[in-house]
Amino acid sequence: MKKPFVIGVTGEFGSGKSTVSRLLGRRGFRVLDADGIAHDLLKKNRACAREISEAFGPDVVRGGEIDRVLLAQRVFGSPRALRQLERILHPRIRVEVVKAIRKSGKGFVVIDAPLLIEAGWTDLVDHVIVVRANRSLQGKRLALRMGITRAEVNRRLRRQLPVREKCRFADKVIDNRGSLADLDRQVKEVLKDIKMSVRQVR
């Protein structure tokens, strides 16, 4: 391949999309973590920090860095505030993702992004994988990982495009309601199909 084949992995928070991305990474694929890029922007990008400070108050910046906990409290309680934060972050994340794709050369690249569809980044990918899971299991995973209540988990999930809507954009849907071994098996099957289609097209 002269340019990378880009796979977008998405799904609701707690669906297991990052686990799928890690499984792809273990197979030698380069993984671009959109959330990780966002965290780096909040930590290192002064222009981004300044714009967020102006939008959400100077107290969200402490020691030159964004207080992500305080920022989350501000934005997840308000759809308007969340949209405002996304308008600040999403264009910057996209720029970094595009740079990384261009530097990757040939091979396969994975974009791990919970808001791949909502942010309008599907034009960056050749193949979309949507990971879905049981909503109750998602809630447990998120509550444990993020240290927030189930009510807060549900509120954050409601801010995302429902998984049934995400699936309309999917080339493949991976069901993460079983074991890790079952998830790995599905990833292998998806990769087999992708590599076959790439050979046919290219």
Residue 127 lies in a domain: yes
Mean pLDDT of the chain: 89
Residue 46 lies in a domain: yes
Q: For residue 137, name the pLDDT band (cuts at 50, 70, 90).
A: confident
- Domain span at residue 31? 5-194
Residue-wise DSSP of the chain: --SPEEEEEEESTTSSHHHHHHHHHHTT-EEEEHHHHHHHHHHH-HHHHHHHHHHH-GGGEETTEE-HHHHHHHHTT-HHHHHHHHHHHHHHHHHHHHHHHHHS-SSEEEEE-TTTTTTT-GGG-SEEEEEE--HHHHHHHHHHHHT--HHHHHHHHHTSPPHHHHGGG-SEEEE-SS-HHHHHHHHHHHHHHHHHHHHHH-
Which residue's structure tokens are 């981004």?
48
146 pLDDT higher than 90: no
Residue 30 lies in a domain: yes
200 pLDDT higher than 70: no
Residue 79 lies in a domain: yes
* Per-residue pLDDT, 197: 78
State pLDDT tens for residues 79-94.
Answer: 899 999 999 999 999 9
State pLDDT tens for residues 161-197.
Answer: 888 999 999 999 999 998 999 999 999 999 999 988 7
Better pLDDT: 69 or 182: 182
Residue 96 lies in a domain: yes
Residue 199 lies in a domain: no
CATH number for 183: 3.40.50.300
* Per-residue pLDDT, 201: 57
202 pLDDT higher than 80: no
Residue 201 lies in a domain: no
* Per-residue pLDDT, 2: 66
Q: Into how many domains does the chain fold? A: 1
Residue-wise DSSP of 2-30: -SPEEEEEEESTTSSHHHHHHHHHHTT-E
What's the pTM value of the predicted model, to 2 decimals? Answer: 0.88
Residue 157 lies in a domain: yes
